[in-house]
């Protein structure tokens, strides 16, 4: 990624795109998962598309703007505004006022961004303009979309989502619907379903599980053991070779009891704590975002549900134990994370949100991972084919402590994932050294798309 890339973007005046047909004017309550404090933020996403000669003469801005108006007929709550009621309960006032839309042109080609498109992206504020007064949570547009034409005939589709409305799966469902209508369909292949009451608190609410991810903070012990000063970002590729190297730290009969996600996450977490050099008696936490839509969770949500169905489950230990024990110790902590999330766990979490007035996440000693390998952002097609890159634009939800796992294929054709890591400069040097001691330079040597990709945060 050409992080030093500078270019000019000419933006038209932001406009409101409203549903193309009349839609119900009503109040729709969010679920008690949706309106928790930790999701009351804006999430920026970005998609890059190549020029397609088959689409010659078609303007992506015009195509997407017209399709957006039609899509909002089906997803009309997105055209409304968020309100807050008694007990901080959030609801959508389906006013039909519309979503913000920006038409733009950039004097740059897709190839100028480099061979490897990964966050954080240069001039993101130009590709997704923060319209003044639009970035709050309440009483503002729920979506902001900017479509930027590139000199090469490609374009950038950027969208900012109020996270209380949808998680990754939910917004991909909306974007796929927008893509289908852009390609000529009259309606989405998956009909959107609201039904947020499925994830509301029980009567009476009752907390039956332990939820360290939202423990109440005491005193000033609210640090993340990481300073945001002098931060750098590097992105690491983990393919078959790298995973095999980490496997070698485990006995043969143990290695295949764990998933690639568990092995990589345990390894990254341990290396990160070693690099940060916290007090050995300090509590450290690793939070994983779990998508609870699968049949194993048995939440019985209807097909087309586009609300938040996620849990933030946490592994907790002392820095000393993580550093002094072999990788297997961290690995067993990670393996328990998803197993902890059951149907009862989700309902207990929902009930806790209501009982405790939707508390914030505990940030103490925290590192967050969000696995987006199977989210499908890159598959969204507006008529110009799949995205060259699709997914998060930055880590603004948890600055400095969140890492997204993104699907990636390197120049050798090896499929794996890339993980952006943010650390203070000296800690990053120690982190790379720790990785190299195991991976023996497999990360930062070889073809250009499997090496460490350096950039300033």
- Which residue is listed with tokens 């983990």? 238
CA 307 – CA 169 distance, rounded (Å): 8
Could you list the beta-strand ranges (E) of 90-180: 90-93, 99-106, 143-149, 155-162
| 357 torsion bin: left (phi>0), alpha (psi -120 to 50), beta (else) | left
β-pair type (9-11, 90-93)? unpaired
Nearest in space to 60 (alpha carbons), one of 128, 147, 187: 147
- Which residue is listed with tokens 């130009």? 126
CA 101 – CA 81 distance, rounded (Å): 15
**Cβ(329)–Cβ(269) below 8 Å:** no
Could you give the angle at the alpha carbon of 195 between the alpha carbons of 199 and 201, nearest 5°? 25
CA 330 – CA 316 distance, rounded (Å): 10
Token pair of 284, please?
């450290």
Catalytic residue among 163, 211, 347, 422: 163
Nearest in space to 404 (alpha carbons), one of 377, 427, 439: 377
Nearest in space to 342 (alpha carbons), one of 296, 300, 288, 291: 296
DSSP state, residue 7: -
301: burial class by Cβ within 10 Å (0-12, 13-18, 19+)? middle
DSSP state, residue 288: E
Q: Would you report the helix, strand and coil content of the chain in percent, each value rounded to 5?
A: 30, 25, 45
H or E segment and range at residue 95:
none
Q: Is 25 a catalytic residue?
A: no
Nearest in space to 157 (alpha carbons), one of 113, 211, 102: 102
CA 164, distance to chain mean position in Å, is 13
Number of Cβ within a 10 Å radius of residue 371: 20
Q: Is 163 a catalytic residue?
A: yes
Determine the number of helices (DSSP H) and then strands (DSSP E) in the chain.
Answer: 10, 17
**Cβ(227)–Cβ(403) below 8 Å:** no
Q: Where in the sequence numbering do the catalytic residues fall?
A: 163, 381
């Amino acid at each position: 990624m050409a992080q030093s890339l500078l270019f000019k973007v000419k933006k038209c005046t932001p406009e409101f795109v409203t549903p193309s047909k009349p839609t119900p004017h009503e109040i729709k309550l969010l679920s008690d998962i949706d309106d928790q404090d930790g999701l009351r933020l804006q999430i920026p996403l970005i998609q890059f598309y190549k020029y397609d000669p088959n689409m010659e003469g078609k303007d992506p801005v015009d195509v997407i703007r017209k399709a957006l108006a039609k899509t909002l007929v089906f997803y009309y709550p997105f055209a409304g505004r968020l309100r807050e009621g008694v007990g901080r309960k959030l609801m959508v006032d389906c006013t039909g006022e519309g979503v913000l839309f920006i038409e733009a042109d950039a004097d740059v080609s897709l190839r100028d961004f480099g061979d490897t498109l990964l966050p954080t992206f240069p001039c993101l504020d130009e590709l997704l303009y923060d319209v003044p007064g639009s970035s709050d949570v309440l009483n503002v547009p729920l979506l902001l979309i900017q479509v930027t034409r590139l000199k090469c005939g490609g374009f950038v589709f950027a969208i900012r989502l109020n996270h209380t409305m949808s998680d990754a799966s939910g917004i991909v469902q909306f974007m796929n619907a927008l893509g289908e209508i852009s390609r000529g369909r009259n309606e989405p292949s998956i009909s959107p379903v609201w039904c947020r009451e499925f994830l509301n608190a029980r009567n009476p609410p009752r907390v039956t599980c332990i939820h360290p991810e939202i423990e109440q903070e005491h005193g000033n012990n609210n640090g993340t053991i990481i300073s945001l000063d002098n931060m750098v970002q590097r992105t690491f590729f983990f393919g078959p070779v790298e995973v095999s190297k980490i496997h070698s730290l485990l006995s043969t009969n143990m290695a295949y009891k764990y998933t690639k996600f568990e092995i990589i996450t345990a390894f990254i977490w341990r290396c990160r704590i070693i690099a940060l050099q916290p007090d050995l008696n300090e509590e450290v936490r690793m939070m994983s975002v779990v998508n609870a839509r699968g049949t194993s969770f048995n939440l019985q949500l209807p097909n087309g549900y586009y609300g938040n169905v996620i849990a933030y489950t946490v592994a907790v230990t002392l820095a000393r134990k993580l550093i002094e024990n072999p990788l297997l110790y961290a690995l067993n902590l990670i393996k328990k994370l998803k197993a902890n999330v059951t149907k009862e766990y989700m309902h207990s979490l929902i009930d806790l949100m209501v009982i405790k007035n939707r508390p914030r996440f505990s940030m103490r000693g925290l590192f967050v991972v969000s696995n987006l390998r199977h989210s499908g952002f890159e598959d969204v097609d507006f008529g110009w084919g799949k995205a060259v890159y699709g997914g998060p634009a930055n880590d603004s939800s948890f600055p400095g402590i969140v890492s997204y796992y993104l699907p990636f294929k390197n120049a050798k054709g090896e499929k794996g994932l890339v993980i952006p890591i943010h650390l203070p400069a000296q800690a990053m040097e120690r982190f790379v050294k720790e990785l190299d001691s195991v991976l023996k330079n497999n990360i930062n040597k070889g073809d250009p798309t499997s090496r460490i990709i350096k950039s300033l945060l």
